[in-house]
Structure formats: structure tokens, C-alpha cells
Amino acid sequence: MKPNDLKICQFKDYLIELYPNPRPTLQYRNVFEQIIAISLSAQTTDKAVNKVTAQLFSLYPNADALSQASFADIESILHPLGLFRLKTQRIIQLSSFLAKNEIKLQRDFLESLPGVGRKTASIMLSSNNISDELAIDTHIARVALRYAIAQQGSSLWVIENNLKALLLRDFNLWHLRLISFGRQICTSKNPKCHQCKLSGICFFVHGI
Ligand code: SF4
């Protein structure tokens, strides 16, 4: 059963109370650094990415420089991150393309880049104020499913559309709120339902 209007209001109010002015936690100085940082952020923390990108961007400040780096050198920098071999391959491939093509903040262009999908494109577009997009990642999908905003088994596309219909606008801010909530409270393992103000009305807890 979908949450009623009151439950949706309580959900939104609680997330605003927890995260009134959410800010991105990945650090970058330009769109090139941003797209590389997002590419490195899969299955790790933003804190870990910021640590390696501080060194990476000081040694390889643009696409041209990074495209010419050796795999071994980049692997040694990315080593603290999970999937560091795959990520090395991806960011060198991405940089090789961007060394010859200026980044266009357009969905079609972004989604045509090596290793870039809808989620990364949505973050790039909304965080750079090009268009209001709601990027869905695993944390956000989990929160939406637990609160019955979408049914179990729903595609990311359905989850995105259901959330957009409830949140209405300012999707970049909602993305940041939802992702923080999923990382800090509605965690994948052992969600902190005992401290969550939604526990009295949450589908995950009560099945109502
Ligand atoms: S009550 Fe638990 S499952 Fe429901 S939103 Fe809160 S943390 Fe997530």
C-alpha cells in the first residue's frame, strides 16, 4: 500500500528537519573533477574518494594529463578504494574521450560517455543548475522501497518517477537528503529504526 498524504508530509518534514541545508560531500573544482569524482564514488565513501582525488587532481589536473597517465600509477593512487582496477580503467578511458571533447552538460552527451549512466548525468545536470533532476542510487532506492513509495521489485525509473511526484521540485536537495538518510539512518544493514522518527508509520517496520 502506498503511503497516504499525511505519511508523505511526515517523511518530507523529517528529512528537512534532519538535513535542512544539505551540501554535496564530494570535493571538486570543476566539471571534469566532478565527473571523475562521481565515477570513483561507487561502493565507497565520499570521504575515501576525497582523500584519493586530492592526490589524483594535484598530479593530473585535467583530462589531457589523466589520459596520458600509466595504469600502474593511477592504480597505486586509487588502491584504497574498492574496485580500483576497474575504476582506473574507467577514468583513463573517460579522460581520453574528454581530452578530445569538451564536456557538454546535456543528458545525451553525458550518458554517451564511457562508464557514465543516468544517475551520474542527473547529478551533473542538477548540481550545475542545468535542470532539476533526481538521481537515484542504491541508498535512495532502498529508502523509497522501505517506506513503500515504490513496490518491491520496481525499476529505478519507477522509483525516480514516484519520488518526483511526491517531492515536486528541488530534486538536487532531495537527492542529498535522501542519500544522507540512507547512509546514516535507513542503512542497508541494521537500519536505525529505533532512532528514526518515522518508525511508528513506516511500512518496513509495521507492514502498513
Ligand atoms: S523506520 Fe527504519 S526502515 Fe523505516 S524509514 Fe526509518 S530507518 Fe528506514
Domain spans, the chain: 5-22+134-206, 31-127
* pLDDT band at residue 82 using 50, 70 and 90 as cut-offs: confident
Work out the end-to-end distance of the chain between its first and last CA atoms, rounded to an integer number of angstroms: 7
Contacts of 102-111 with CB under 8 Å at 24 or more apart are 103/31, 103/32, 103/35, 105/31, 105/130, 106/130, 110/35
Determine the distance separating the centroid of ligand 1 and the alpha carbon of 127, expressed in angstroms: 27
Q: CB of 188 within 8 A of CB of 142?
A: yes
What would the mean pLDDT of 145-162 be, rounded to a whole number?
96
What would the mean pLDDT of 15-28 be, rounded to a whole number?
97
CB 98 less than 6 A from any atom of ligand 1: no
CB 202 less than 6 A from any atom of ligand 1: yes
Query: Does this chain's domain 5-22+134-206 share its CATH topology with 31-127?
Result: no
CATH superfamily to which 31-127 belongs? Hypothetical protein; domain 2 (1.10.340.30)
CB 22 less than 6 A from any atom of ligand 1: no
Name every residue whose Cβ is closer than 8 Å to that of residue 190 and which is 6 or more positions away in sequence.
none
The reported pLDDT for the residue numbered 83 is: 93
Determine the distance separating the centroid of ligand 1 and the alpha carbon of 198, expressed in angstroms: 6
Query: What is the DSSP code string of 76-109?
Result: HHHTTSTTHHHHHHHHHHHHHHHHHS-----HHH
What topology does CATH give the domain 5-22+134-206?
Answer: Endonuclease Iii, domain 2 (1.10.1670)
* pLDDT band at residue 5 using 50, 70 and 90 as cut-offs: confident
Model pLDDT for residues 183-201, shown as the tens digit of each residue: 999 999 999 999 999 999 9
208 has pLDDT over 60: no
The reported pLDDT for the residue numbered 142 is: 97
CB 145 less than 6 A from any atom of ligand 1: no
Q: From CA 112, how far away is CA 28, in angstroms rounded?
A: 22
* pLDDT band at residue 207 using 50, 70 and 90 as cut-offs: confident
> Per the structure block, which three cell numbers stand in for 100?
578530445
Model pLDDT for residues 6-17, shown as the tens digit of each residue: 999 999 999 999
CB 11 less than 6 A from any atom of ligand 1: no
Query: What is the DSSP code string of 134-195?
Result: ----HHHHHHHHHTTSS-TT--HHHHHHHHHHHH-S-HHHHHHHHHHHHHHTS-SSS--GGG
Determine the distance separating the centroid of ligand 1 and the alpha carbon of 37, expressed in angstroms: 29
Three-class SS of residue 29? Answer: coil
127 has pLDDT over 60: yes
> Per the structure block, which three cell numbers stand in for 184?
546514516
